[in-house]
Amino acid sequence: MSGDFLENTQYYVDKAAKALDLRADVTKQLKTPHREVRVELNIQMDDGSVGTFIGFRVQHDDARGPFKGGLRYHHHVDAEEVTALASLMTWKTAVAGVPFGGAKGGIAVEASKLSQGETQRLTRRFIDGIHDIIGATTDIPAPDVNTNGQVMAWIFDQYSKYHGYEPGVVTGKPVALGGSVGREAATGRGVVYATQELLHTLGMKIDEQRVVIQGFGNVGTWAARDFVEAGAKVVGIADISGGYVNDEGIDISAAIEHVAKNRTLEGFGGGKHVDGDALLAHDCDILVPAALGGVLTKENADDVRAKIIVEGANGPTTPEADEIFAKKGVHVIPDIYANCGGVTVSYFEWSQNMQHFYWELERVNTELQRVMKRAYANLNETRAKHECTLREAAFILGVGRVKEATEMRGL
């Protein structure tokens, strides 16, 4: 799957390069990752045994600023998946117009099987392995699947042991350690801002939309809350335990409370339990994949009834499914724009850390919305100029900006 993911990412970069009329050598330079690191991580497990894991950090491009990207703890993590995700970060930061490059990292591990102590030891050991290639002006990790503010706090602490106090080395930190207010909500909130931009273009109202969200972690829960707050009805949610649908509207606060107590939605009584595929095909106006990649494929794309897909997750749609959606007239808001709210507020957090001056929540949200509006306007102009889909426009915009910076810096 991860091999396909990398291939799919490169496919869109090649397509953008063609639209921009780039030379083959330039395209090759843009696609090639700067550095790929693989580290062996040995830790003591709670039962006294030694656990051996593999950690990855891929730094894809830093022409526009320090490498930037999340850390994922998941058993699917491998070199190719991390490389694909790192590449997406390069184009995403360029689309958002924030002064960062792209990177990604992760550890291949069944995160749900680790205790809190094991997770902490694994995180610290990972930083022992990569501390000399990360830093506030070089490479700045952040949360992704199965990592959160606590994991970022351990990263900050472990890094400080080698390099002294440098909160800007990682974003998504708890507010008590120099994190930004509004960072935890930012990706999901940005998903809703992105949706509002498209709805505005289409002359549609958010309070008339029925939404299904796959993935009920950081991105999914915050998107759900903000959709409801904007007046939309969330009629389906899902996590690793399956889907839950309720056409009257799901009580999102009750679902979040359930997960806080039970770790997953398993046993949630606020909706009818359905399997993952049925959830994606459930009758709704907007579908938000906010879990893992590769979930919308040529096998299930025709079953999707939503008219709008907003990619909270990275790489949820395969190119074949994307083509089917384009033919069906389904609007797809691509990951490298739809979920850029996270890296945008990470940028705000980082700049607050660099200045030691902290913002109020209202300023964070206003600035986030401003960035998302500006990026959407740029996307729309690009789409009109190249007569293409929003995804193609996003890659054309991202690749074009990175190419410009690369060329100006020279060899």
For position 143 contacting ligand NAD by CB under 6 A, the verdict is: yes
Whole-angstrom Cα Rg for the chain:
20
User: Which is nearer to ligand NAD, 22 or 234 (by Cβ)?
Assistant: 234
- Name residues contacting ligand NAD, limited to 235-254 (CB under 6 A): 238-240
User: Which is nearer to ligand NAD, 22 or 371 (by Cβ)?
Assistant: 371
Residue of 218, 317, 352, 353 that binds ligand NAD (CB under 6 A): 218
What is the rounded CA–CA span in Å between residue 5 and residue 319?
A: 10
Using DSSP's 3-state secondary structure scheme, residue 334 falls into coil
Residue of 144, 166, 197, 392 that binds ligand NAD (CB under 6 A): 144
- Output the CA–CA distances (angstroms, integers) from residue 52 to 37, 125, 133, 139, in the order listed: 17, 11, 22, 25
**Least distance to ligand NAD, CB of residue 70, Å:** 6
For position 312 contacting ligand NAD by CB under 6 A, the verdict is: yes
For position 378 contacting ligand NAD by CB under 6 A, the verdict is: no
For position 347 contacting ligand NAD by CB under 6 A, the verdict is: no
For position 145 contacting ligand NAD by CB under 6 A, the verdict is: yes
Our answer to whether residue 403 is catalytic in this structure is no
What is the rounded CA–CA span in Å between residue 191 and residue 224?
A: 10
Using DSSP's 3-state secondary structure scheme, residue 3 falls into helix
**Least distance to ligand NAD, CB of residue 42, Å:** 25
Span interacting with ligand NAD, options 120-128, 129-137, 142-150, 381-389, rule CB under 6 A: 142-150
Tokens found for residue 327? 């033919």
Residue of 8, 187, 352, 382 that binds ligand NAD (CB under 6 A): 187
User: Which is nearer to ligand NAD, 17 or 394 (by Cβ)?
Assistant: 394
- Tokens 């759900």 belong to residue: 224
Using DSSP's 3-state secondary structure scheme, residue 188 falls into helix
Q: Where are the alpha helices (DSSP H) in 97-182?
A: 116-130, 149-163
Selecting among 92, 104, 233, 403, the annotated active-site residue is 104
User: Which is nearer to ligand NAD, 17 or 259 (by Cβ)?
Assistant: 259
**Residue 411, burial from CB neighbour count under 10 angstroms (0-12, 13-18, 19+):** exposed
What is the rounded CA–CA span in Å between residue 138 and residue 343?
A: 16
- Measuring CA to CA, which residue among 179, 180, 181, 192 is closest to residue 221? 192
Residues that bind ligand NAD (CB under 6 A): 143-146, 187, 214-220, 238-240, 264, 276, 290-292, 312-314, 339, 342
Give the residue numbers marked as catalytic.
Answer: 104
